[in-house]
Amino acid sequence: MSSSIQLLKSTYRWISTPLIVSAPMRVFTGPELATAVSSAGGIGFIGPGKSPEDLEPAFQKARKLLEQMLHSQQSKRSSISSADLEDKLPIGIGFQIFDANLQVALPSIATHRPAAAWLFVPRDGTDDLPVWMREIRNVSPQTQIWLQVGSVKDAMEAAKLSNPPDVLVLQGIDAGGHGLAKGAGIVSLIPEVRDAMASTGIEIPIITAGGIADDREMAAALGLGAVGAAMGTRFLASKEAEIAAGYQNEVLRATDGGQSTVRTPLFDALAGRNNWPPQFDGRSIINGSTKDSEAGVEFEKNEAQFREALKQGDKGWGKDGRLTTYAGTGVGLIHEVKSADDIVHNSRESARVALKVALELL
């Protein structure tokens, strides 16, 4: 595992360890959040936008923000140097392959050379994944491929490709938002994948995701065999997140994440996004929509109330609200909105303390 983290440090020269990653959440993680996380010594990812054409302006804004940071007082705290920015754009970009447009994305990737491309959900029965990996590497050799998977089977199939991903992101069942409907938590998923790779002589760095919201969970992930941790829900409660106040307030309100969230395909159906492969669903905070669905309320009635809630702005969220509120089981550990810089620095330093405390128990 030490060789894996050394490889990442040589590739992403600005990072500090333990490595913290902000996951690419659709429409929520824009240039402000991604650049703030990378500037703090993590790796920030821009999420998929509402349309493929959103990518180019997002890259342009990220580059402008980083250039401004380098020429301001912020540079004293930033881990990013001008050399990092000249080599590649020190952030990542995420793609949901099944509804993304490779041909639209490639020119922007070639121009801006993002440090990483996080790929997720190739269409069933296609060779989309190898094609995306090959084409991205062709136009931007500096861009490393991160592949998100949620099972040992998928991890090993990816690891055994003739040109495998540079990093595997193992997403556990506790994750908020979309993931496999059936899966394991990271406590068993990471060790089993590491054992399977070791048995075949494969070593690929593992970043873990799913339910990680503070330093203690991050420390645990490192003990399981990951070289870093991706946080999603925690960054929904950041100042830089592109999120409605009503949604963000729900993230702060929720407690007991294993009971206050539920995995369901309901919100894709309510939003008219039924194109997700059938093995995926999404974890959301329980609200009026999920309660009615569980109670057997007709979908058409539920949908009508969802549509009405869309007109209500922030009032559409709440304990009995109707709107989509994706969040992981770690949501109960999130109590306040902080800057991304503070989240990264505090989580990293506290994780170091947590690891030292654990060693004292030996």
Using one digit for the tens of pLDDT, what is the confidence trace for 163-184? Answer: 999 999 999 999 999 999 999 9
Q: What confidence tier does 79 reach under pLDDT thresholds 50, 70, 90?
A: confident
> For position 50, what pLDDT does the model report?
85
Q: Give a yes or no: residue 37 inside a domain.
A: yes
Indicate the range of 1-10, 141-150, 266-275 predicted with least confidence: 1-10
For 212-251, what is each residue's pLDDT tens digit?
999 999 999 999 999 999 999 999 999 999 999 999 999 9
186 shares a domain with 287: no
Give residue 84's pLDDT. Answer: 85
Confidence band, pLDDT 50/70/90 cuts, at residue 355? very high
Verify that 260 and 350 share a domain, yes or no: no
Residues 294 and 173 in one domain: no
- Mean pLDDT of the chain, nearest integer: 95
Q: How many CB atoms lie within 10 A of CB 208?
A: 29
Residue 117 lies in a domain: yes
Query: How many structural domains comprise the chain?
Result: 2
Please report whether residue 111 resides in a domain: yes
- Is the pLDDT score of 108 beyond 70? yes
The answer as to whether 249 is a domain residue is no
Whole-number pLDDT of residue 71: 83
User: Which CATH number covers residue 41?
Assistant: 3.20.20.70
The neighbour count for residue 342, using CB atoms within 10 Å, is: 14
Same domain, 69 and 171: yes
Residues 62 and 188 both lie in one domain:
yes
pLDDT band for 75, please (50, 70, 90 cuts): low
Is there a domain that residue 355 lies in?
A: yes
d(CA 248, CA 241) in angstroms, rounded, equals 9
Q: Look at residue 107 in the predicted model and tell me its pLDDT.
A: 97
Residue 81 pLDDT > 90: no
Q: How high is the pLDDT of residue 126?
A: 65
Segment among 77-86, 137-146, 350-359 with least mean pLDDT: 77-86
- Is pLDDT at 74 greater than 70 in this prediction? no
Q: Please give the pLDDT value at position 236.
A: 98
Same domain, 46 and 158: yes
The distance in angstroms from the start CA to the end CA of the chain is 21
pLDDT at 72 over 90: no
Confidence check: pLDDT of 76 > 70: no
| pLDDT recorded at residue 49 | 86
Domain match, 92 and 172 both: yes
Same-domain pairing of 86 and 214: yes
In this structure, the answer to whether residues 266 and 176 fall within a common structural domain is no
Q: Are residues 319 and 197 in the same domain?
A: no
pTM, 2 dp: 0.95
In a domain, 172, yes or no: yes
> pLDDT value at position 169?
99
pLDDT, residue 277, reads 92
Is residue 226 domain-shared with residue 107, that is, in the same domain?
A: yes
Per-residue pLDDT at 189: 98
Structure tokens at 57: 């302006």
Whether 250 is in a domain gets the answer no
**pLDDT of 327 over the 70 cut:** yes
342 in the same domain as 324: no
> Does some domain include residue 57?
yes
| Domain span holding position 126 | 2-244+334-360
Whether 119 and 145 have beta carbons less than 8 Å apart is answered as yes
